[in-house]
Amino acid sequence: MRRGGRPRPTRPPDRGPRINNRIRVRQVRVIDDEGKMLGVMDTQDALALASHKGLDLVEMAADQRPPVCRILDFGKYKYEMKKKEQASKKKQHQVQVKEVRVRPKIASHDIEVKVKRARKFLEAGDKVQINCLFRGREMMHQDVGVEVMRSVFKQLEDIAKVEREPHREGRRMVMLISKK
């Protein structure tokens, strides 16, 4: 354990691959800007070759022995990687939990409207939480609320499955369904 003095400097967080003079090994395997393998050479020689071409030496596979480095324009490389990352994020769909509220005394047409909305949510890939809200004396007849929730699920049975059975949370009953 170290006592007194200045604290040890901490390494900055890894900000991508090492480039140019940050590469600390003696020898590297080099790939040139056209994709040709140049083989293993001293790091200083590889740096000189990269600077002669007006490009950077970028460490691509640091875990290899010797590390694989590539001669390329690092700014352009960062830009392309950022674009790839944004494109992959754009293709991802975050599953959200959408809510559909019903009441024990709900009319059949209102149930159809709620089912239509829930079906749209499920087809978009989201989960649907069906909430049945109870007021006053409706708490005495929770079985009616369960029946309403079951009727909503029966109409969605072709594309949905029950993820969480109806259970009570205070003055409401909650059921979670998701796409099959």
Structural domains in the chain, CATH included, are: 20-87 (3.10.20.80), 97-179 (3.30.110.10)
Residue 48 has pLDDT above 80, yes or no: yes
Closest alpha carbon to 147 in 130, 169, 135: 130
Give the global pTM: 0.53
- Which tokens sit at 67? 């590390």
Choose the weakest-confidence range: 5-14, 60-69, 100-109, 131-140: 5-14
pLDDT tens, residue by residue, 68-114: 999 999 999 899 999 999 988 888 778 889 999 999 999 999 999 99
Return the amino acid letter for 18. Answer: R
> Higher pLDDT residue, 10 or 151?
151
Q: Is 156 exposed, middle or buried (0-12, 13-18, 19+ CB in 10 A)?
A: buried
Pairing relationship of beta strands 172-179 and 160-169 according to DSSP bridges: antiparallel
Is residue 25 within 8 A of residue 66, CB to CB? The reply is: yes
Decide: helix, strand or coil at residue 19.
strand
Coil/strand/helix, residue 24: coil
Q: What is the largest CA-CA distance in the chain?
A: 85
Question: Among 120, 121, 146, which residue's Cα sits nearest to residue 132?
Answer: 146
73 C-beta neighbours (distance < 10 Å), count: 15
The pLDDT of residue 103: 93
Length of the chain: 180
Q: What is the CA radius of gyration of the chain?
A: 30
Q: Note the pLDDT tens digit of each residue in 7-45.
A: 666 655 556 788 888 888 889 999 988 888 888 999 899
Q: CA-based angle 78:82:88, to the nearest 5?
A: 145
- Do 74 and 60 contact (CB within 8 A), yes or no? no
